[in-house]
Chain A
Amino acid sequence: GAGVSQSPSNKVTEKGKDVELRCDPISGHTALYWYRQSLGQGLEFLIYFQGNSAPDKSGLPSDRFSAERTGGSVSTLTIQRTQQEDSAVYLCASSLGRNLAKNIQYFGAGTRLSVL
């Protein structure tokens, strides 16, 4: 597809279960970002991938959160032992690369995670 694709669009899980959220960036985009948006809030940076470089994990809120990006394309955000405070919309974005002045991020529609 032409845009950033995220799946699932909605995920309901029970407290303590693990969840995996998927992001398929725009073809050719080397940079990929994950954000979390709680209800009525702004975007909280989680993690950044740039090409084959080591990811910037500085935004991950706890060690229950992890992410990988296979083959420089698709990324998976994993949340282990989910808690109710993990309920939020998880947004993925991709861009052409780090060293461009006009580094526009293009966002997916997000995954709405509800932890019961």
Chain B
Amino acid sequence: AQKITQTQPGMFVQEKEAVTLDCTYDTSDPSYGLFWYKQPSSGEMIFLIYQGSYDQQNATEGRYSLNFQKARKSANLVISASQLGDSAMYFCAMREPTGNQFYFGTGTSLTVIP
């Protein structure tokens, strides 16, 4: 089974609107970390936000927030007030403490429309 699933290969959003990028994960470990990265056309992966499995509150970082639903094993990224510079690929990732790997999803391409 896929560790990380991103079901939206491409998304469009109007500038200044909010958008939700979906991510579901699969693990039997009670302790894990969830990450979102942005990859603009320049290629560099940029860390956006982190959610720990034991964190009581949903993570927020500026315009980014993570809608963490533990029972559903989902960790959706919400971007508020979209900007043209938000156009990029977005990757969800998970790390389990028992292993060395970070598991990445296949990504969602976000296009912000002026």
Contact = CB atoms under 8 A, between A and B. Distances in A.
A109 B44 CA distance: 4
Given A91-B45, A108-B44, A101 B104 contact: no
Contacts, number: 53
B46 to A, nearest CB: 8
Contacts of A107: 37, 44-46
Contacts of B47: 104-106
B64 interface: no
A65 interface: no
Given A101-B52, A103-B95, A106-B47, A42 B104 contact: yes
Contact of B100 (A50, A89, A109): A50
A11 to B, nearest CB: 14
Given A50-B100, A109-B42, A41 B106 contact: yes
Interface of B: 31, 33, 35, 37, 42-47, 50, 52, 91, 95, 97, 100-102, 104-107
18 contacts: A35-B104, A42-B91, A42-B104, A42-B107, A45-B102, A56-B101, A91-B45, A93-B45, A101-B31, A101-B52, A101-B97, A103-B33, A105-B47, A107-B37, A107-B44, A107-B45, A109-B42, A110-B43
The 6 closest A-B CB pairs, nearest first, are A107-B45, A43-B104, A48-B100, A42-B106, A56-B100, A109-B44
